[in-house]
Structure 1
Amino acid sequence: MKVITCAIDSLNVKQYDRETLLGLRDSSAARSRPINLPDLPDIILKTPVLGNGMGLLGSGGPPPMNVSGPMMAGGMGDKGISCDWRNGNDPFSPGYVKSARPSGNLTKRGSQQGKKEVKNIMIHIPKDVKLRTCDNAWVPIRRGNQTQEEEDLDWVLKRVRSILNKLTPENFNTLQTQMETITIDTEEKLAGVTSLVFEKAILEPNFGEAYSKFCKFLLMLRVPSSTNPDQIVNFRSLLITTCQKEFEKDSENEQKILDKRALLKKAESEEDKKKMLEDLEEEMAMARHRSVGNIKFIGELFKNDMLTEKIMHECLCKLSCSTDVERLECFCSLLSSIGQILDKSDQVDQYFRNVQKLITDKKVSSRIRFMIMDLIDLRRRNWIPRHSNKGPKTLDELHQRALIRPFKKKIFI
């Protein structure tokens, strides 16, 4: 044994050469457990690991006697130590000490989180498995089963629906240019486009002004009739017919609601009554929404010169003579929109006399009475509303409104 003693900072430090250190590693004392070592089962093994454990040479036991020299199995250069650190082998851990590193090949992610056991589950499914089906299951429409005309119709409706979904006062001109590129040359396409525009207009009454301007742009659309090619079908006639059918549908809806109320009274169980009442309220709300939306859209079409004054007087006359809540609400909505244009006629005085009588006799609810009173006050103010238009606005209008708001606050302060 060659020992070199040197003084470092007034301390005697012993340094051993390489052969001496390798000899100490291979000695029996280095491989056996010390006698006074405490019993720590989580750290110390009772017997050295001789298999694929930790320790020198990655086996936890003594190195083979026939392996020597600067290069050993799985070598690490001239250090003479065979150990793969990536597999968790520690060349300086005795065979009786458990390693803190997990064994096995780990990736970078596995080395941080620990090795997870992977379970391979094999599921054998027989070929004759039958899935549950229902009578009204959704079936996709395959293009292979469609004719060329049907594909063209679907494409046109899809494009028009996309334009209507993006329609705002800000991008109206851009979408109008896109609409010009769509070819509408058959009655089926024209009827489909008319139906789409009408449904969007009555379900979104706040955008009625934008939809009416869009209809004015489509006013010149004309196509040959599918039944008689010599006749011409135009967009305006289809739109007026659709609005008229929806306006006349109110009486049908009233009858349906009366029938459902009669069935509701005959219901036996409380559960059936509750379900029928929910359905009735939902149907009444939808009918009211559609009728009010249709009336507002009719008023916007009249202001864009697409409907005549005669049609407006016919609608107002029918609405003012009714005692139905929905019709009176439609009357107030329509007259507040176009009253300034029609006030020159003597017929408007008759409309107000009809509704004034309803207020005096108290034949309607308080909500409708207040709506009629607001309409009377609006006429007294020369049809100038108290509040500005609450419909959609352009970005310039919103910016201008934001600039005016601070001055209004200063005035009130």
Structure 2
Amino acid sequence: MEIVRAIRGVLNKLSTKKFDTLVQDLTEIDLWYDKETFVEMISVIFEQAIQSPVYVSLYADLCLKIQQNENDLYKAETWFHRELVHKLQRMVEVVNGDFNAEIENEDLFMKMKKKRDLIGLIRFISQLFRVNLVNFKILENCLVTYLRAYERTMNESCLESAVLLLYNAGPFIHDLDVKAKFDGYSEYCEKYRADVCKRINFKIDDLVNLRESNWGRNV
């Protein structure tokens, strides 16, 4: 699809120095009248954001710019934000489900790829939370998905996912009510210390330290 190739070509050049120029290039592509194009673009953004930890914050900034441009055009709720949230929720379910699936003879490469995808998705969700494209309710749905999966399967990676999401999103807390909920979820994760390996216990330690430092924020 020609438009998707054009979008991918622009995103492949994404960098801090070129950000404004590339945003302009992207908005000049014929995006605004075709919902299917938005869906394809969001898929490409997710794919590249998950695989590019160095630029994940830029992808979140890019999403914010796209939404702002669409709002300027239509002065109403936009396709882009709705589809972005739907994609995020589907990705959480799919990536989490894939990671927990029992696949016989799965090689180390595939296991490592799933792990990278999971961590990449968590980082991207956290950055979308930073720019307010993901609110706490959406973030909480992701947390609950991970925690319920852990309670159901006792797969340590599910608990680790919840811990990492709290840790990555915590510095972007913006009010006291949300902080209280983060505190509660952090304490909830702590109660499973005895059930998980040392590596995840170290991550829980990091989470506790961040919480005790007021999540690194003046809130």
| Correspondence for 1:188 | 36
List per-residue Cα deviations over 1:367-406 (Å, max 9, x = no partner).
1000110111122223339xxxxxxxxxxxxxxxxxxxxx
Query: Higher strand proportion, which one?
Result: 1
| Cα separation, partners in 2 of 1:384 and 1:350, compared to 1, 3 Å | closer
| Cα separation, partners in 2 of 1:366 and 1:288, compared to 1, 3 Å | same
Identical pairs, percent: 26
Match of 2:12 among 165, 173, 176: 165
Q: Residue 315 in 1 paired to residue 142 in 2?
A: yes
Match of 2:45 among 173, 191, 197: 197
| Cα separation, partners in 2 of 1:372 and 1:248, compared to 1, 3 Å | same
| Correspondence for 1:282 | 109
Aligned partner letter, 2:120: G
Separation in 1 of the partners of 2:49 and 2:141? Answer: 22
For this pair of structures, how many residues does the alignment match?
Answer: 203
Moved runs in structure 1, 4+ residues, more than 6 A?
A: none
Task: Give the drift of 1:334.
Answer: 1.8
Show structure 2 runs of 5+ residues with no match. Answer: 72-76
Show structure 1 runs of 5+ residues with no match. Answer: 1-152, 223-231, 261-275, 386-413
Q: What is the TM-score of this pair, normalised by structure 2?
A: 0.82
| Cα separation, partners in 2 of 1:251 and 1:377, compared to 1, 3 Å | closer
- Partner SS for 1:217: helix
Aligned partner letter, 1:368: I
| Correspondence for 1:373 | 205
Matches within 5 A, 1:263-342: 276=105, 279-320=106-147, 322=150, 323-340=154-171, 341=173
List per-residue Cα deviations over 1:252-311 (Å, max 9, x = no partner).
31453x242xxxxxxxxxxxxxxx3xx432222111111211111111111111122111
Would the aligned equivalents of 1:187 and 1:233 in 2 still touch at CA under 8 Å? Answer: no
Task: Give the drift of 1:233.
Answer: 6.9
Task: Give the drift of 1:181.
Answer: 1.9
Q: CA RMSD in A?
A: 2.4
List per-residue Cα deviations over 1:149-181 (Å, max 9, x = no partner).
xxxx41x22221121111111210111122232
Match of 1:236 among 61, 68, 81: 81
| Cα separation, partners in 2 of 1:221 and 1:331, compared to 1, 3 Å | same
| Correspondence for 1:350 | 184
Separation in 1 of the partners of 2:115 and 2:199? Answer: 15
| Rg larger in structure | 1
Would the aligned equivalents of 1:160 and 1:193 in 2 still touch at CA under 8 Å? Answer: yes
Match of 1:364 among 196, 209, 218: 196
| Correspondence for 2:74 | none
- Partner SS for 2:54: helix
- Partner SS for 1:350: helix
Separation in 1 of the partners of 2:170 and 2:45? Answer: 25
Structure having greater relative contact order (Cα 8 Å, sep ≥ 6): 2
Query: Higher helix proportion, which one?
Result: 2
Matches within 5 A, 1:100-115: none
Aligned partner letter, 2:22: L
Would the aligned equivalents of 1:190 and 1:235 in 2 still touch at CA under 8 Å? Answer: yes
Matches within 5 A, 1:98-137: none
Would the aligned equivalents of 1:203 and 1:293 in 2 still touch at CA under 8 Å? Answer: yes
Would the aligned equivalents of 2:64 and 2:133 in 1 still touch at CA under 8 Å? Answer: yes
| Cα separation, partners in 2 of 1:371 and 1:343, compared to 1, 3 Å | farther
Would the aligned equivalents of 1:246 and 1:291 in 2 still touch at CA under 8 Å? Answer: no
